[in-house]
Amino acid sequence: MNTQEPLSLKDLQSRYPYQFQDPELGIAMAKGWVVVFTQLCADVDQVLGQDKRGFHWSQVKEKFGSARFYFQFKGRKPDLRLDIQMPGGVLSQVVPFERRIRTDQDRSFEQVNTEIRRLAMQAEMATRLVCLVCGKEGSQDVDVGYSLVLCPEHRAQRQQPSGLPDFWDNLLDEKDKAAREQQRLKSVAELERILAKHKKDDEV
């Protein structure tokens, strides 16, 4: 049951900063998943309690039309995740990383890890039923290229020349921002060089 007010990725990062530290592969959330992911972040925070155990989202992305919420704990290897497209749908399986349970602390960690994994997969299942664009009830659309979960309205819009509106909310860290700004400045400099060359040629 969703009890949390939907939040943007930036808002979620402000509320749960530890969950968004150093994502290895990036955080990209479809706007239609905002209710599901907001609730997931709140549930994870409650499971962790005071001891956050170095938890963070390593990647949030779309795969086969629905969400994938990958996470890690600092200093511990993550479980292996397998997703296979089958004729009847997507088969998802988690292969737990083999860890020796030697202490009560190890046992406590495994309990937390198992519960968060259950919550994440439950949230992923929920995104199979909602439109990526708006969050309304949706179903898989495979008529035009890549498989996406869409409501009837956005399924029809996808057929139009204009296509779907931008529905991604991306969370960029400082390195990403710096790299993009550097690329922007490089592009501007190249454009100015080309314009200056054309101007010089015209003057000759």
Note the pTM of the prediction, 2 decimals.
Answer: 0.75
At residue 35's C-alpha, the angle toward residues 165 and 154, to 5°, is 30
- Mean per-residue pLDDT for 18-27? 81
CA 135 – CA 99 distance, rounded (Å) = 38
List CB contacts of 148: < 8 A, sequence separation 6 or more: 62, 65, 132, 140, 141, 158
62 φ, ψ (degrees, to nearest 5): -100, 140
* Domain boundaries defined on the chain: 9-170, 172-203
- Mean per-residue pLDDT for 169-196? 62
Residue 28: pLDDT band with limits 50, 70, 90: confident
At residue 88's C-alpha, the angle toward residues 86 and 91, to 5°, is 50
**In 122-181, beta strands by DSSP E:** 139-141, 148-150, 168-171
Share of the chain above pLDDT 70, in %: 73
State the DSSP string of 62-122.
EETTEEEEEEEETTBPPPEEEEEEETTEEEEEEE-------SHHHHHHHHHHHHHHHHHHH
pLDDT at 167 over 80: yes
76-128 pLDDT, tens digit each? 777 777 777 666 666 676 766 666 667 777 788 889 999 999 999 999 999 99
CA 27 – CA 54 distance, rounded (Å) = 17
47-70 pLDDT, tens digit each? 999 999 999 999 898 888 889 999
Instruction: State residue 174's pLDDT score.
Output: 47
Contact 3, 37 (CB under 8 A): no
End-to-end CA separation in angstroms for the chain: 72
pLDDT at 1 over 60: no
| pLDDT, averaged across the chain | 81
Share of the chain above pLDDT 90, in %: 41
Residue 71: pLDDT band with limits 50, 70, 90: very high
